[in-house]
Chains A and B, each alone.
Chain A
Amino acid sequence: MNAEASDLSLVQRAQKGEAGAFDALVRRYQHKVVKLVMRYVRNQTEAEDIAQEAFIKAYRALPRFRGDSAFYTWLYRIAINTAKNALAARARNPVQFDLDRNGGDDGDAPGDLQDRMTDTATPEALALTEEIRATVTAAIEQLPEDLRTAIMLRELEGLSYEEIATAMDCPVGTVRSRIFRAREAVDARLREIFDGGLGRGEVAG
Chain B
Amino acid sequence: MTEDERASQLSAMFDGELPPAECELLARRLSRDEALRRQWGSYALIGAAVRGEPIVARGRAGAQTDVAARVRQALAKSTDEAADAAATGAGSEADAVATAGGRRPRMPRWAVPLSGFGLAASVAVLGVAAAALFWLRGDAPTGAAVANVVPSVRPASAAEVVVPMPLPAAPASPAAPVAQGASPGTIGQSDDSYTVPPPAQGGIALAGGATLANFLVAHSEVSMPMLRRNALSTLVAVPIEAEAAVAAPQAPLPVWSGPATTDPAAGSAVERP
Contact = CB atoms under 8 A, between A and B. Distances in A.
Interface of A: 1-6, 9-10, 12-14, 18-24, 26-35, 38, 44, 47-48, 51-53, 55-57, 59-60, 115, 118-120, 124-125, 128-129, 132-133, 136-137, 140, 151-152, 154-156, 160-161, 172, 176-177, 179-180, 183-184, 186-187, 190, 194-195, 197-205
A10 B16 contact: no
Given A31-B48, A180-B8, A26 B42 contact: no
A52 B11 CA distance: 25
B45 A205 contact: no
A28 B64 contact: no
Interface in B91-123: 94, 97-98, 100-103
A1 B102 CA distance: 38
Interface residues of B, number: 67
Given A132-B45, A180-B8, A199-B44, A52 B39 contact: no
B219 interface: no
Contacts of A59: 71, 75, 97
Closest 9 CB pairs of A and B: A9-B27, A201-B69, A31-B48, A3-B16, A21-B31, A27-B41, A20-B31, A199-B45, A136-B49
Contacts of A3: 14-16
Contacts of A14: 31
B50 interface: yes
Given A26-B71, A136-B46, A184 B56 contact: no
Contact of B64 (A10, A125, A140, A190): A125
Interface of B: 7-8, 11-18, 20, 23-24, 26-28, 30-34, 37-60, 62-72, 74-76, 79, 94, 97-98, 100-103
B24 A9 contact: yes
B30 A21 contact: yes
Nearest to B58: A204
A134 to B, nearest CB: 9
Nearest to A190: B42
27 contacts: A5-B23, A9-B24, A19-B72, A19-B76, A27-B68, A31-B44, A32-B48, A35-B54, A38-B54, A56-B100, A56-B101, A57-B101, A136-B46, A151-B50, A161-B15, A172-B17, A176-B8, A176-B11, A179-B11, A180-B7, A184-B7, A194-B59, A194-B60, A200-B41, A201-B58, A201-B68, A201-B72
A81 B9 CA distance: 35
Given A31-B56, A176-B8, A26 B68 contact: yes
